[in-house]
Amino acid sequence: MRKSIFILTLLVAGALATRAGDGEYPVSKISPALLKNANMVIRLDESFAELLAPDKLLLKHHYVITILNEKGAAYAGMTEDYDRFNEIKSIDGILYDAEGIKIKALKNKDIEDLSGSSGMSLADDIRYKRHDFFYKLYPYTIEYSIEKVKKETMFFPKWEPVWDELVSVEKSFFIIKTPKDYLLRYKTFKYEASPVIKEEGDKKIYSWQIQDYPAVKREFASPAWTSITPTVHLAPSQFVIEDYKGNMTDWNELGKFQSALNKDRDILPVAIKQKVAELIKNALSDEDKIRRLYNFLQSTTRYISIQLGIGGWRPFEASYVAAKSYGDCKALSNYMHALLKEAGVQSYYALIKAGDNEDDIITDFPSRQFNHAIICVPNGKDTIWLECTSQSKAAGYMGGFTGNRHALLITEDGGRLVSTPHYGVNENTQIRRIQAVLDENATLRVKSNSTYGAMQQDDLEMMINALSKDKVKEFLHEQLDFATYEINQFDYKENKTALPAIDESLDITVSNYATITGKRLFIIPNIMTRSHRKLSADTSRKYDLELGFEYRDVDSVEIELPKGYEPEAVPQDVSINSKFGKYNCSVKLKGNKLLYYRTMEKYSGRFPAKDYNDLVKFYEAIYKADRNKVVLVKNETALKGF
C-alpha cells in the first residue's frame, strides 16, 4: 500500500504542498530511537528514475528532513547541478516549524544560479541551482522536490539512503523503471534483501527501501561508507552520450567505448615530431626515451581543466595541447601517448579513480567509476606509469594519488583492469639520523638528516616544488614538535626515480629541550619522531578496522651531553610485535653520549571489530615509549677532580 502512495506522490503534481502542510511531519512523531545521536532525521526520501529512451533518463527526488540542531543545518541547503547533459525541470520547497506547520514556500526568485567553474578550470559548462531557507529556530523541517532530465545514459543514479553519519532515516525508497527487455545492472552493499521487481506492460520496475534506520556514528578507522550502510550502485548495459553509443557489461566493452572516443586524436604537428626526434637522438634505451619525453611534457605544458560536453570524457587532440601548452588529465595523457608513439614506444591511455586515501573501484562491477587519466608504458616486469598532470613528479611514480589501486587500460582490443604499483612498508620509508649537542642551559643544537621514500615524500615533494623557501620555512615551523626553537638552516634534495626519495637536512636550535632540576637532568632521547596517536578504549565497537598507509620509520640519534653527568634511570628496551605493526627502541649511554635507536613499522589491512582494543594498547604503548625520559645526575666529585 505504501509503495502505491509513493509512486502516486512522485507523479501527481501538487502533492508536495498538500501532505506535509497538514502537519504530517511534526517533530513529536519521530521515534526516540531515531533521535539518538542524530543531528538530522530523514523523514521521507523518495528517489525515482525512468529510462525514457536510449539517451534519456528522468530523475525525480522528493525528500523531507528535520533539522535538529546547528550541526544538522549543514544539510538544510539544496544544491543541484546542471549542464548540457542534465536539465533541471523544476524545484519546489517548503519550510515547516517543529509542529509541521508551513512557514514559507520556495519561490523561483529565491533560487541562486551559480557557475560551477573552479580556479583550475579554463572552461566548463557546469552550473548549480542553490537554495537555503536560513532558518535557525531548531528543530524545523524542510521539504524539497526536484525533477531533472539526463540527456545521456552513461551514468545511472546511486542510492545511498543514509546520507552521512549522525543522520537517521524514517523511510527511504528508490525506484527505477526501464523497458522490460533492458539489462539493468546493480550491486548492493549492506542491503540483505533482493529488490522488488515487477512488470507493468512493456516496463520493468525495480525498488529498494529501508525504514527506521538509526543514526550511524563513525568509529576510528571504520571501513568505507558502503561497507557499513546500505548502498545500491546502478549501471547501464547499453548507453548513449551525445552521438556515441557504448556498452559497459564488462570492462573490455567499456574500454572499446573509450578507445572510440580517443581515436585519431594522437596526431602531432610537424614541429613537435621534429622535437621528438631531437630529444630521443642518442637515447640509450626505451626507458631513456620515456624519461626525456616525460621531462619535455612536464617542462612545456601545465594542467588546466577543460570540461565541456563530451570533452569531460574525450581528450582534446594532441595538436591542441602542442599549440596551447596546456590541457586536462585526458588531454595531457593523450599528448604523452602521442609523443611516445612518435618515438616508437608503445603506451596505453588508462582510466583511474584518483585521490589520496580514495577507495579503489568496485572491480566486479564494470561501470564508469573513474575521474582521472594516466599513461601506462608496458615494459615487462618494470611497467612504467606516468602521471601527466604533474610538472615535478618522477617518471614511473604514482604515489598516494593513483598508486595501490586498479586502472582500466585502454588497448587496441578494448579495456583491461590492471594494478598500479603498490607502495608498502618497504617503499614508504623514513630514515633519520640525528646528531645533537646539549649544553649546560638545556639548549639542544640538532643536526638532522632524513630520507623520505615513496609516499612518505609525497607532501614534501609538492611543497618544495610549489612553495618559496620562506613558505617552506613557515611550514616547518608548523610541523616541528618543539616548544621554542629556531631553524638555522634547511635544505632538500630530490632523487627522482620510480621510487623517489627526498633528502632533508635541518639545523635547529631548541631552547629548554631538557629539564634541569638541581643535580638532575631529564631528557627525552626521541627528539623528532614521536607518535601522537592516542585512542580511547571501546568495548562496544561495531565496525571492522580498516587500516591503510603502510610505512617504516628508522631513527638513529646521538646526543652529546654536558660533562659530568651519570645515568640514574635509563628506560629499558621496548619491543612490540603486533598484527598492526612492529616497534622497537633502545637507549644506551656511552661516555657523555646518549645513543637512541627506534624502528616503527605500521601495516595495512582489515581487522575484526574485536581487535580494536588491541589497537588501542598498541598505540598507547608506542605513545608512552616515545616519551620515555633518561634521568641523569651530576657527579660533583668527578667534576672537581677534573
pLDDT, one tens digit per residue, over 153-165 is 999 999 999 999 9
Query: Rounded to whole angstroms, how far apart are CA atoms 270 and 296?
Result: 16
User: Given this model, what pLDDT does residue 4 score?
Assistant: 38
**Nearest partner of 130 among 149, 140, 141, 115, judged by Cα:** 115
Please report, as a single letter, which amino acid is at residue 239: F
Q: How far is CA 367 from CA 236, 532, 615, in A?
A: 8, 40, 36
Beta strands 372-377 and 384-386 are antiparallel
pLDDT at 17 over 80: no
pLDDT at 138 over 60: yes
CA pair distance 317, 297, nearest whole angstrom: 15
> What is the pTM for the complete model shown?
0.91
Residue, of 304 and 431, whose pLDDT is higher: 431
Residues 6+ apart with CB under 8 A from 540: none
| Surface-to-core class of residue 84, CB atoms within 10 Å of its CB (0-12 exposed, 13-18 middle, 19+ buried) | middle
Closest CA to 44 of 197, 174, 172, 228: 172
Distances (CA, A) of 350 to 66, 135, 329, 340, 489: 44, 47, 11, 15, 43
**How far apart are alpha carbons 541 and 454 in whole angstroms?**
33
* Helices first, then strands: H and E counts in the chain: 14, 38
Among 7-16, 246-255, 425-434, 526-535, the range scoring the smallest mean pLDDT is: 7-16
The pLDDT of 141-161, averaged and rounded, is 97
* pLDDT score recorded for residue 113: 94
Retrieve residue 483's grid coordinates.
616548544
Angle between helix 458-466 and 469-479 (nearest 10)? 140
Residue 510 CB neighbour total at 10 angstroms: 20
C-alpha cell belonging to residue 449:
638528516
Phi-psi label, residue 582: left if phi above 0, alpha if psi -120 to 50, beta otherwise: beta
Which residue, among 378, 421, 371, has the nearest Cα to 398 in the 3D structure? Answer: 421
Q: Mind listing the pLDDT tens digit for each residue in 67-92?
A: 999 999 999 999 999 999 999 999 99
Alpha helices by DSSP H, 467-510: 469-479
Q: Which of 207-216, 475-484, 515-524, 590-599 has the lowest mean pLDDT?
A: 475-484
The confidence score (pLDDT) of residue 10 equals 41
* CA–CA separation, 134 and 112 (whole Å): 14
pLDDT digits (tens, 9 = 90+) for 257-271: 999 999 999 999 999
Q: Looking at the predicted structure, is the pLDDT value of residue 169 above 50?
A: yes
**Cα gap 540→40, rounded to integer Å:** 23
Instruction: Give the 3-state secondary structure of residue 49.
Output: strand
Which residues are registered as beta bridge partners of 432? 450, 555
Where do the DSSP E strands lie in 485-571?
A: 485-495, 501-510, 515-517, 520-523, 545-547, 551-560, 565-569
- Among 471, 454, 639, which residue's Cα sits nearest to residue 549? 454
Which cell goes with 50? Answer: 525512468
Question: Burial level of 610, CB count in 10 A (0-12/13-18/19+)?
Answer: exposed
Contact 15, 64 (CB under 8 A): no
Amino acid at 600: M
Retrieve residue 583's grid coordinates. 616497534
Question: Given pLDDT bands bounded at 50, 70 and 90, which one contains residue 313?
Answer: confident
- What phi and psi values does residue 594 have, to the nearest 5 degrees? -100, 125
Q: Tell whether the model's pLDDT for residue 178 goes beyond 80.
A: yes
How far apart are the C-alpha atoms of 396 and 600, rounded to whole Å? 27
Distance CA 81, CA 127 (A): 6
pLDDT at 441 > cutoff 70: yes
Q: Cα torsion at 533, 534, 538, 541 (round to 10°)?
A: -10
d(CA 305, CA 373) in angstroms, rounded, equals: 12
Contact 290, 377 (CB under 8 A): yes
514 touches 523 (CB < 8 A): yes
Helices 286-300 and 270-280: angle between axes, nearest 10 degrees: 130
The average pLDDT across 34-41 equals: 98
Q: What element of type H or E holds 296?
A: helix 286-300
Q: Give dist(CA 410, CA 375) in Å, integer.
A: 10
Q: In a 3-state reduction of DSSP, which class is residue 448?
A: strand
Nearest 5°: CA angle at 606, between 541 and 398?
135
CB 522 within 8 A of CB 610: no
Write out pLDDT tens, residues 355-397: 998 999 999 999 999 999 999 999 877 899 999 999 999 999 9
* pLDDT higher than 70, residue 22: no
Question: Which pLDDT does position 438 carry in this prediction?
Answer: 97
pLDDT band at 309 (very low <50, low <70, confident <90, very high): low
Q: pLDDT tens digits, residue range 534-555?
A: 999 999 999 999 999 999 999 9
Chain centroid, CA 180 distance in Å? 38
> Do 603 and 550 touch, CB atoms closer than 8 A?
yes
Percent of the chain with pLDDT over 90: 88
Neighbours of 395 (CB within 10 A): 22
Which of 219, 235, 229 minimizes the C-alpha distance to 186? Answer: 235
Task: For residue 398, count CB atoms less than 10 angstroms from its CB and return exposed for 0-12, middle for 13-18, buried for 19 or more.
Answer: buried
Structural domains of the chain, ranges and CATH numbers in brackets: 2-241 (2.60.40.3140), 246-419 (3.10.620.30), 429-637 (2.60.120.1130)
Q: pLDDT confidence of 123, banded at 50, 70, 90?
A: low
How far is the C-alpha of 67 from the C-alpha of 167, rounded, in Å? 10
* DSSP element (H, E) containing 145: strand 140-150
In terms of Cβ atoms closer than 10 Å to its own Cβ (0-12, 13-18, 19+), residue 403 is: buried
